């Protein structure tokens, strides 16, 4: 399990996605129509976990092997509106939580810091597993969700049967984030610097949906989502803590906001860039317009069973929603590694 497997590439052409979905469905014993389903995830359940009442969707048999699907910013659980039913029909118990600051997830106390640092988000996911009495699960995500899955795999490998991580290894450190990047790379992070200003905080609060739609367009330049699809996810930003969590997340990364002392020791561990031993499949879209590392740069971070897949053509940052069959296939395959 701890030997490094050479990365391989899976090339999926969007022209063949329908056919690939049917083949995939047949391989795991599903009707082909299951792979084409798309409806809002729900109903939403609530459970108290750590400092939060977490809103989450649950699909599939309660006794099935668990899968935790974690979304990113500025998206929501509906990034998995197609992938989750595929996995549920394949026999998995699928849990899709709203992160803190999204949807129906709420803080239990008004005095709890609205902290968006990476260690806090990972602690939320572990607390959710505890609350739902899930001893171990396949963890999967993209953007903030991929980083959260990475951290869970480092800190709690016994809770992670396998991992699917879009854009690979995303664990960061404040020290590394203080280092300047080449101008083109800095330009891609424009919103991070915008959020570091009071003007940015006010601007995001006043134009949250428009801001998110712009990010969707630039991060996935070839994804032709419709207004209904965007509106379904934008409703999750109507959360009293959303702006505070997002602003704190990006300001903390640049050492412009403090985290909570309870996470200091954990962040020191994460700052070393520890290897991940959990069996992992990493994914990358060939048209990801958001800042992301090159797959060759992070392959060495995975010291267990490992595979990389590039998903083509025209797949952007929100890979689970843009290529749900490819994402679901990766989860199934990771669970068998």
pLDDT of 156 above 70: yes
Q: What is the pLDDT of residue 40?
A: 84
pLDDT of 15 above 50: no
Which one has a higher pLDDT value, 173 or 39?
Answer: 173
Q: What is the model's pLDDT at position 27?
A: 65
Output the pLDDT for position 14: 37
pLDDT of residue 39: 77
- Tell me the average pLDDT across 193-199: 98
Strands (E), the chain: 44-49, 52-59, 66-70, 93-97, 106-107, 137-141, 160-166, 280-285, 306-311
Nearest to 93, CA basis, from 117, 60, 122: 60
Mean pLDDT of the chain: 91
pLDDT at residue 13 greater than cutoff 60: no
Interval 148-172 mean pLDDT: 98
Q: Residue 326: which H helix or E strand, with range?
A: helix 324-335
The mean per-residue pLDDT over the stretch 74-83 comes to 98
Provide the 10 A C-beta neighbour count for residue 205.
14
pLDDT average, residue stretch 265-269: 98
Per-residue pLDDT at 174 exceeds 70: yes
Reported confidence tier of residue 28, pLDDT bands at 50, 70, 90: low
Whether residue 331 has pLDDT greater than 90: yes
What does each C-alpha distance from 287 to 58, 66, 171, 267 come to in angstroms? Answer: 30, 30, 22, 31
pLDDT the model gives residue 38 = 59
For the segment 300-325, the average pLDDT, to the nearest whole number, is: 98
Asked if pLDDT for residue 95 goes beyond 50, the answer is yes
pLDDT category of residue 36 using cuts at 50, 70 and 90: very low
Phi, psi of 58 (to 5 degrees): -130, 130
Contacts of 15 (CB under 8 A, 6+ apart): none
């Amino acid at each position: 399990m701890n030997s490094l497997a050479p990365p391989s590439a899976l090339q999926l052409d969007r022209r063949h996605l329908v056919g690939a979905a049917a083949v995939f469905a047949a391989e795991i014993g599903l009707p082909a129509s299951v792979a084409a389903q798309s409806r809002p995830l729900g109903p939403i359940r609530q459970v108290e976990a750590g400092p939060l009442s977490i809103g989450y969707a649950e699909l599939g048999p309660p006794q099935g092997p668990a899968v935790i699907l974690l979304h990113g910013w500025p998206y929501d659980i509906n990034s998995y509106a197609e992938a989750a039913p595929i996995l549920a029909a394949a026999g998995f118990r699928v849990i899709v939580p709203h992160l803190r600051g999204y949807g129906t997830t709420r803080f239990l106390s008004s005095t709890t810091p609205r902290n968006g640092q990476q260690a806090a988000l990972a602690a939320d996911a572990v607390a959710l597993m505890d609350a739902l009495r899930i001893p171990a699960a396949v963890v999967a995500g993209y953007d903030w969700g991929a980083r959260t899955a990475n951290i869970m795999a480092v800190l709690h490998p016994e809770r992670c049967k396998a991992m699917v991580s879009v854009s690979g290894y995303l664990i960061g450190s404040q020290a590394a984030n203080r280092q300047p990047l080449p101008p083109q790379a800095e330009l891609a992070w424009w919103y991070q610097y915008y959020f570091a200003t009071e003007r940015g905080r006010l601007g995001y609060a006043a134009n949250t949906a428009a801001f998110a739609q712009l990010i969707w367009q630039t991060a996935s330049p070839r994804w032709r989502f419709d207004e209904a699809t965007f509106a379904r996810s934008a409703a999750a930003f109507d959360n009293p803590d959303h702006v505070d969590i997002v602003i704190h997340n990006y300001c903390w990364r640049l050492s412009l906001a403090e985290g909570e002392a309870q996470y200091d020791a954990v962040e020191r561990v994460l700052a070393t860039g520890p290897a991940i031993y959990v069996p992992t499949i990493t994914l990358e879209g060939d048209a990801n317009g958001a800042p992301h590392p090159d797959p060759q740069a992070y392959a060495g971070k995975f010291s267990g069973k490992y595979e990389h897949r590039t998903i083509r053509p025209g797949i952007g940052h929100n890979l689970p929603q843009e290529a749900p069959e490819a994402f679901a296939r990766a989860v199934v395959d990771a669970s068998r590694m």
